[in-house]
Amino acid sequence: MLNPELYLNQNIFDSSVEKQPTRDGFGKALVKAGEENKNIVALTGDLKESTRIEEFANKFPERFFEVGVAEQNLITISAGLANSGKIPFASSYATFSPGRNWEQIRTTVCYSNTNVKIVGAHAGLLTGPDGVTHQATEDLALMLSLPNMKVVVPVDYWQAYKATLEIAKINSPCYLRLSRPKIPVITTEKTPFEFGKIQTFWTSSNPQVTIIATGSMVYYSLIAAKELEKEGLETQVINCSTLKPLDKEEILKHLKITKAVVTVEEHQAHGGLSSLIANLITTNFLVPQEIVAINDTFAESGEPEELLDRYGLNVSNIKKAVLKARERKV
């Protein structure tokens, strides 16, 4: 059942469930953060409308910087602003930032622990028709490997809104991963969000497998959990929106109950959530792990749902992974 303590959207499983892009939640929250703190500034590389900082730019034109198609400059200018006391939000497509400017992020932001917020929009397969050049499926690996970097992948509009407000208050480099299309709104305005903490969205009286998902994949994991419950297999679904720092202690508490885990992410199987959990269990509490992710391949152009099916990021494969994880339990 859905966790009643989190005030989740009770219409999650309806075909008419509300859908909004996570980038919209970011855009609205950035304006609010700008109203609350005059030191917040916004920058982009010729993607003001797409990354949803246009409203901020219109309201605070003196605090908006258009750097053009120059992602390396986007980061170095942001670092300079941060060193001058500002709190910069640098937005672009994730394939270009961190994809194109990773060295600048490493050297001018992370090495000196500079307070720059990097917003990677249009991440994952859901970018769809834009094709492989714009489908960032390696960005989490790039950012999770960097010392001092915090990494957040919101599950929906409301969590993107709240995460934006939270990272604005954290004095540290942060990466916020956003998607392009409208996706189901799972949480509500009342749903709590705490940076660095997991949330159990789906609970059962006798869970046999833990599903840990992040971003857009949480929705499909919830559908899989509900279907599996009808078929006699109880699970728990964890929304892991903060990948770094990882909420290790709480995750291990869940795994010691179920003794099996499935990780689900809209990213390459290497270097993202699945790798984080694999490292956690091999060094703390070894349990069978099954992975639902992109399997070491580039994608192609297509509609978002078509691509999720083609590359195995769907309800059917999540259910298969859960069954396999249960079978592997000692």
Provide the pairing of β-strand 183-184 with 199-202. Answer: unpaired
Are 291 and 261 spatial neighbours (Cβ–Cβ below 8 Å)?
no
Q: Is 230 helix (H, G, I), strand (E, B) or coil?
A: helix
Q: Which residue among 66, 71, 229, 303 is the active-site one?
A: 71
Q: Is 137 helix (H, G, I), strand (E, B) or coil?
A: coil
Residue-wise DSSP of 33-99? HHHH-TTEEEEESS-TTTTT-HHHHHH-GGGEEE--S-HHHHHHHHHHHHHTT-EEEEEEETTTTTT
Numbers of helices and strands, H then E, in the chain: 11, 14
Residue 103 falls in the annotated catalytic set: no
Task: Report in angstroms the alpha-carbon separations of 15 from 19, 40, 126, 184, 228.
Answer: 10, 39, 19, 10, 19
Question: Which residues are annotated as catalytic?
Answer: 71
